[in-house]
Each structure stands twice: as structure tokens, then as C-alpha cells.
Amino acid sequence: MNESLVASADEGLIRLRATLAYDGKDFRGWGSQPDQRTVQDTVEQAIAQVLRLPKVTVQCAGRTDAGVHARGQVIHFDIPAPMPHEPADLAYKFNSILPEDVAFQEIQETTSDFDARFAATSRSYIYLIYQGAPNPLLRFHAHRCWQPLDIDLMHEASQLLLGLHDFASFCRKRDGSTTIRTLHQFDWSRTKDGLIRADVTADAFCHSMVRGLVGAVLAVGEGKRTKDWLVDYLEGRERSTGLFIAPALGLTLDKVDYPEPAKYAHRITQTLRMRDLDGPY
């Protein structure tokens, strides 16, 4: 059974749910790694330091890769009761010792059956692209694409990937993990500022799946591939070394959705039944 689910049974603990924003540029991704600067380690250390705890473990909704940003990453963690400060004061205290590239946006007390990872019903990412001359003001948040792009065609192609599929051909494979996911939304549009934007939502994503999807659709938009190729590639369920993985810096975890609190436990059971334990981020 998952550690965080075990911890939730302890009545001396309070479970907190929080939203984080971070600039992924100088992090080696979310997940804790020895001798690397990661979001998880940075946040866990700040919480432990403020609350004078020996160790805190934070569970996130979306394990972002190195370089990927977040505006609405959701986490949960447990602290000893009683609540030491008002949630807003706690956020302020954490932010005052965190480095400038990661910050709590909000903290709230939640019930012990909330789980940032397993209770989530969907994750939404945004991918930004721009064209033309190199733009120093966008260089850390949008991918520059040289080739002319047919945005309408990219949007049409993306719709062919919606629904429940085995997305193995877009993911970095992990042994024992399923790559079956439900893609809810994959829309392309132009922003008012002239950027090209993809909105990608699924129940959960496998490793590097958003960037693989974006890379494949870019190949269609550039005219190198067709819509038929995209469908065949999905159905082939084999990742090709030729697949373009769109760069991490263009990607931002925008938000995570959850059911109403009364349905947390049901959603967790559903998630664990549908997928292996390592899968659903």
C-alpha cells in the first residue's frame, strides 16, 4: 500500500493540500534525487525547517521532468496536529525561506483521505511555441520552432488522439507500468501575444508523454508527417527513436482536478484498480 495512504490513518496528523508554482529551469525535475536540485527536496526541506520536523514527505499530482514549469502543481503532506499557524501564514513562512523559483500559491487543511496523486481526476498542461527570430523574453518558457506550422491541421490531428488509448509510442517506457491513459483535450490555438499554445488534459500522463504528443503533432504541422501517420504511430504502440520530444522548457503543468471531497476515497480506489502503483501521474 502507498506510504501516504498509510500515513493518513494516523490521527495525530493533519493533512495539508497545497498548490505550488515553480520555474523549472534550474531544477532537475520534481522527484527527489541524490546530489541534484529538485523541487521535491527543496519544498520538503523548507517545510521541515519551518515546522522544525526531522523529515517531511510530499506527494505531488504530476511528477514534472527537468526543466518543466508548474503554475498549479498540487501536493499533499502530513504534519503533526495541532495546526501551528493559519494556512495563509504557513504559506507565507514557507515562501520566505524558499528560493525565488518555487512558491506556495495556497495551502488548505484537507481530510486524511485526500491524496494529491491518486485522487486526481485529471492533469492539464500548456505547451507554448513561438516562431520567427529568437526572443530573449520567451527563451525559458516557449519552444522556438523554425518551420512554418499549419496550426489548424495540428489541431485536427490532435483530435484523433483523444480518448482511451495505449500511449506507449509517446512515452518513455518503465517496466511494469501501464501506458494506457485517457486523453481528454488536445487543442491548439494562437494567443493574443502571437504564441502558439497547446492545451493538453488527460486523466494522467506517463513519463514524457505530453512532450512526445506535442513533438509528434509538430511533425504533422511542419508537413513532415501526415494525420494518417499519427494514427498509425499511436496504434503501433512502439516508441520510435525518430520521435521528436518537444523541449521541456515550453511545458507548464497548469492545473490538477479532483472530485468533491466525499468522493476522494472512491476515486483513489478507482485509480489503484485501473492502474499499477507506479503509473498515474
Query: Which of 82, 136 has the CB closer to its own copies?
Result: 136
- For 127-138, give one letter per residue: b (16+ CB within 10 A) or e: bbbbeeeeeeeb
CB 192 within 8 A of CB 261: no
CB 230 within 8 A of CB 256: no
Q: Show the binding pattern over residues 66-85: x = contacts its own copies (CB under 8 A), - = does not.
A: ---x-x--------------
CB 42 within 8 A of CB 20: no
Residue 148 interacting with its own copies (CB under 8 A): no
DSSP state of 277: T
Phi, psi of 117 (to 5 degrees): -85, -55
178 CB contacts (<8 Å, ≥6 apart)? 166, 275, 276, 279
Q: How many residues does the chain have?
A: 281
Q: Report residue 220 as a C-alpha cell.
A: 504533422
How many chain residues interact with its own copies (CB under 8 A)?
Answer: 24
Instruction: List the catalytic residues.
Output: 65
Q: Which residue of 14, 48, 103, 195 would you call a contact of its own copies, by CB under 8 A?
A: 103
Q: Show the binding pattern over residues 32-51: x = contacts its own copies (CB under 8 A), - = does not.
A: --------------------
Query: Which of 193, 278 has the CB closer to its own copies?
Result: 193
Q: Which residue of 54, 134, 148, 176 would you call a contact of its own copies, by CB under 8 A?
A: 134
Residue 222 interacting with its own copies (CB under 8 A): no
Query: Which of 36, 92 has the CB closer to its own copies?
Result: 92
CB 64 within 8 A of CB 30: yes
Residue 181 interacting with its own copies (CB under 8 A): no
Cβ neighbour number for residue 141 with a 10 Å cutoff: 18
| Segment interacting with its own copies (CB under 8 A) among 100-108, 161-169, 204-212, 235-243 | 100-108
Residues that bind its own copies (CB under 8 A): 21-23, 69, 71, 91, 95, 100-106, 132-137, 139, 141, 192, 252
